């Protein structure tokens, strides 16, 4: 019962502080909060009813009591489980997915899933996100078709596994349901020695133009030739949808 109430408290706290989006898609906010409230009410009612049920059961059955040592171990184990759960759910700050997860799930491996790529013809590309540009590159847009475009990209830094010395991705996670199914997408940036000024997992805003990739080892065909790479704070909502 107590573990259930801790879970409910955790969901309520995340919702109240605007951090629930670090775990689930915004379309599920209302459903999750309503279900948490219902679960809390059920847990409280069950907690109030169960003691009388246990008393009735004891009247009908004669069980041998636990030894003092076993009783202490059982009580200690229960309290430890409750304490650990409370710390994990309530005390530790919620964290954004990082480049470690991006490396495990492969940047742009599923960049085109879920949504069609935006079209350039007549489009206001100033509103394009990292996801939009990543989808276009994934679907075969080349440097010639992107000539004249000046993307502004905000995301976290993660290295290109094929040429980590010269190329990094400006990356974001796309969430369709929850953080468990989040997929990393990113736009490659060619900047030799980027590690000197921009740490992995640091958030940056990149502006520039698209060019053919000068790297001899990177698998990326098109990259951004940056005019500026500026460190920025992580957005309140770090994911894209």
Beta strands 203-212 and 222-231 are: antiparallel
N residues, the chain: 241
Sign of the torsion angle spanned by Cα atoms 36, 37, 41, 47: positive
4 with 41: CB under 8 angstroms?
no
Question: In the 3-class helix/strand/coil scheme, how is 50-85 assigned residue by residue?
Answer: HHHHHHHHHHHCCCCCCCHHHHHHHHHHHHHHHHHH
Q: What is the pLDDT of residue 30?
A: 80
Minimum mean pLDDT range among 152-156, 174-178, 197-201, 228-232: 174-178
Return the H-helix or E-strand segment holding 63: none
* pLDDT at residue 127, rounded to an integer: 85
Run of H or E including 153: strand 152-159
Dist CA 241 CA 221 (whole Å): 25
Task: For 205-239, give the DSSP string.
Answer: EEEEEEEE---SS---SEEEEEEEEEE-PPPSS--
% of the chain with per-residue pLDDT over 70? 69
For residue 45, the model assigns a pLDDT of: 75
pLDDT of the residue at 113:
45
Instruction: Please give the full DSSP string across 158-213, using - where no structure is assigned.
Output: EE-TT-TTTEEEEEEEE-SSBGGG-EEEEEEEE-TTGGGTS-TT-EEEEEEEEEE-
Give the model's pLDDT for residue 86.
44
pLDDT tens sequence across 62-79:
555 656 666 655 555 554
pLDDT score of 88 more than 50:
no
Q: Is 121 helix (H, G, I), strand (E, B) or coil?
A: coil
**What is d(CA 33, CA 179) in angstroms, rounded to the nearest whole number?**
17
Q: Which domains does the chain have, with CATH numbers?
A: 2-91 (no CATH), 99-231 (2.40.50)
pLDDT of residue 122: 58
* 112-147 tens-digit pLDDT: 444 545 566 556 788 899 999 999 998 888 999 999
Q: How far apart (Å, rounded) are the C-alpha atoms in residues 80 and 231?
A: 41
Vertex 185: Cα angle to 237 and 225 (nearest 5)? 105
Average pLDDT, the chain: 78
């Amino acid at each position: 019962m107590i573990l259930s109430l801790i879970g409910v408290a955790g969901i309520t706290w995340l919702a109240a502080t605007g951090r629930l989006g670090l775990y689930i898609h915004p379309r599920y906010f209302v459903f999750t909060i309503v279900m948490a409230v219902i679960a809390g009410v059920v847990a409280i009612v069950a907690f109030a009813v169960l003691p009388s049920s246990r008393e009735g059961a004891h009247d009908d059955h004669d069980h041998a009591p636990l030894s003092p040592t076993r009783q202490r171990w059982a009580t200690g184990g229960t309290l430890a489980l409750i304490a650990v759960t409370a710390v994990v759910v309530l005390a530790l700050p919620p964290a954004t997915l990082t480049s470690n997860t991006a490396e495990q799930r492969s940047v742009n491996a599923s960049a085109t899933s879920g949504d069609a790529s935006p079209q350039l013809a007549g489009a206001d590309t100033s509103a394009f996100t990292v996801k939009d540009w990543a989808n276009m590159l994934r679907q075969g847009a080349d440097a010639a078709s992107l000539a004249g475009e000046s993307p502004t990209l905000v995301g976290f830094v993660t290295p290109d596994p094929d040429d980590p010395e010269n190329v990094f991705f400006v990356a974001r996670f796309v969430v369709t349901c929850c953080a468990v199914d989040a997929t990393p997408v990113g736009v490659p940036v060619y900047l030799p020695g980027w590690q000197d000024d921009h740490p992995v997992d640091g958030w940056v805003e990149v502006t520039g133009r698209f060019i053919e990739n000068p790297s001899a080892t990177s698998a990326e065909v098109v990259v951004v030739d940056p005019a500026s790479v500026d460190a920025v704070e992580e957005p309140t909502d770090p994911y894209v949808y």
